[in-house]
A and B are shown apart, each in its own frame.
Chain A
């Protein structure tokens, strides 16, 4: 039997609903329909009175979740697409993220964001807003890159006493498969070495981890050994694992699907240069999407974002330094 990334997300929610009576799910079309991506398929039937369709009101969806969290419940909110979380931005960053600091009352909500580009998604169904949420104090931002992490990190997200922005990549939903669900996992805040190497560290997260691994395979044919670090969690960011990797390789490429101004890759470069400057044998580089909205046509879309080819090309440039 094989389990997809999407199955893992559904199973994690079923597990959370089964194990914890405080958990409920709220979102557009998540009930009988099972969600736009079927991430909540049959959950309403299996857990009556625990899975609720919401009106198209992202702001009020998060507001309701915060109120329920104050009452001690653990809501999981599905945004139909991460792009629409901009409508809920105020409730996420000003209500949920500030509650504990202001009042000492925890706000354990999980906001699931189906995010990232797929061909044909266009400007409003492709965005990767992890950077914006990571910027605000009080939020945890998770970006699982594997089926196993999608499962274990979503379970952990629900258990965490803070608001979690859970970024699940739409391309990985049906593309990634595993044989079975994991029984143990790295803790939140710990990055993972997704592939070992000694010539260059490529730091990536979410779907870019798969692309970076493929690029590493391509470069292996040319004799280069590339180490790929999967951040897993964007905030907190595991600087120690990144620096330890750069200590081994002396070279760094940070890859992200998000836009280039600021963001996770800039943060990675900034930390390595300030804390590990002496470890670097070449100027560290970043590879991001282009600074335009995400385009619709596959030709434009493929050129807009980092790909296996552009990651390999950027890597070669550093390796030849």
Chain B
């Protein structure tokens, strides 16, 4: 009996934690969008609106010792994995003190030695890198860890996706490959992206297990991602998670997404997972209106403080920049300057 109570409390905590990450991610994204419109951000801004439940559900099931390669719409998962908001803000603003020090920006951020991999733009390319981290840890005798790589449905058309999923299957690595099928790869609909009935059907062809998730449904995300990650952690090999949702924004803030039909937005697929999560927490007595208000104001303060701090910080100085791409000190002296 006691065990049941503590288990149910633990589940409630997971869901409260996931919701808070979703809320913080949504508010952080809104702030980035506002800074973009104000001309304060160089380059693009990419939001996770509609994908927060899926993303947070990944992050809350990962430990510090796990590996995470998020994609462009994973602010919630990044926060749940432990990324401080200041890292995100500094990277978007190009601060010299951020993890990428102004050399890379926006969603291209991470801390590789903490298992948090910074994406390159080429889709599918991070999956085999996650495989490599997992492979190396196996060689070092480390077990009980998982690596999660996030992709959209568009990335399933790449050769890199195929090579990496097959590689993970051959090596039986604890990889969880999460596909967020948000119906559009930039503007391209799914019927121009793939011809199979369900991307989850592909798992059998690779010899891996699959999981299908309605990513508009908060509690389903928590449950299914928890199960998939636990399967990989327990040594059952790679897990393919195919999550269905609708992107509730443009590809980036430069895109009005006029190609998304209103009928689709008004269908169950267009539900806002953040609202669904709030309803769930209310219904299960895991939070009330007062609690939501506190969480919201805490998140806003945290975000505003981070933006104010990053804006006061030094921008990268081209005269201080070493302008060398090499780690080897000896070879740096021979670097190309012609």
Whether B27 is near chain A, meaning CB under 8 Å from some CB there, is no
Find A64's partner among B117, B167, B338 (CB 8 Å cutoff).
Answer: B167
Q: How far is the CA of A262 from the CA of B278 in the complex (A)?
A: 61
- Categorize the interface residue count of chain B: 35 or more
- Which of the listed residues A60, A95, A271 has the most CB atoms from chain B within 10 Å of its own CB? A60
Contact with A along B129-164 (1 / 0, CB 8 A): 111111111011000000000000000000110011
In the complex, the answer to whether A64 meets B160 with C-beta atoms within 8 Å is no
Is the CB–CB distance between B112 and A105 below 8 Å? yes
Q: Contacts A57-B166, A188-B331 known; A98 to B132 CB distance under 8 Å? A: no
**Number of A-B contacts defined by CB within 8 Å:** 153
**A94/B122 in contact, CB under 8 A:** yes
Complex Cα gap A69–B166 (Å): 21
A94 to B126, CA, bound (A): 11
Contact B160 A162 (CB under 8 A): no
Distance from B78 Cβ to chain A, minimum over Cβ atoms (Å): 15
Q: Is A71 within 8 A of B133, CB to CB? A: yes
Q: Are A67 and B128 in contact (CB under 8 A)?
A: yes
**Residues 146 to 185 of chain A near chain B (Cβ within 8 Å):** 160-162
B139/A24 in contact, CB under 8 A? yes
**Minimum C-beta distance from B322 to chain A (A):** 9
Q: Are the CB atoms of B133 and A68 closer together than 8 Å?
A: yes
B163 and A59 contact, CB distance less than 8 A: yes
- Are B159 and A102 neighbours in the complex by a CB distance under 8 Å? no
Cα-based distance from A68 to B117 in the complex (angstroms): 12
Given the complex of chains A and B, what is the CA–CA distance between A96 and B99 in angstroms? 18
Task: Say yes or no for A266: interface residue by CB 8 A criterion.
Answer: no
Across the interface, which residues of B come within 8 angstroms of A97, CB to CB?
325
Q: Which residues of A contact B100 (CB under 8 A)?
A: 102-103
Interface residues contributed by chain A, number (CB under 8 Å): 55
Q: Does B241 contact A (CB under 8 A)?
A: no
B110 at the A interface (CB under 8 A): yes
Tell me the smallest distance from the CB of A204 to a CB of chain B, in Å. 20
Taking Cβ atoms with an 8 Å cutoff, the residues of B that contact A are: 99-100, 103-104, 108, 110-113, 117-118, 120-122, 125-137, 139-140, 159-160, 163-164, 166-167, 170, 324-328, 330-331, 334-336, 338
Given contacts A60-B127, A67-B128, A271-B338, 4 further A-B contacts (CB under 8 A): A55-B170, A60-B164, A101-B325, A140-B326
Task: Please give me the 9 A-B residue pairs with the lowest Cβ-Cβ distance, nearest first.
Answer: A67-B132, A63-B128, A71-B136, A57-B163, A60-B163, A138-B325, A64-B132, A106-B327, A60-B128
Chain A contact residues, CB within 8 Å of chain B: 24, 49, 54-55, 57-73, 75, 87, 90-91, 94-95, 97-103, 105-108, 137-138, 140, 160-162, 187-189, 235-239, 270-271, 274
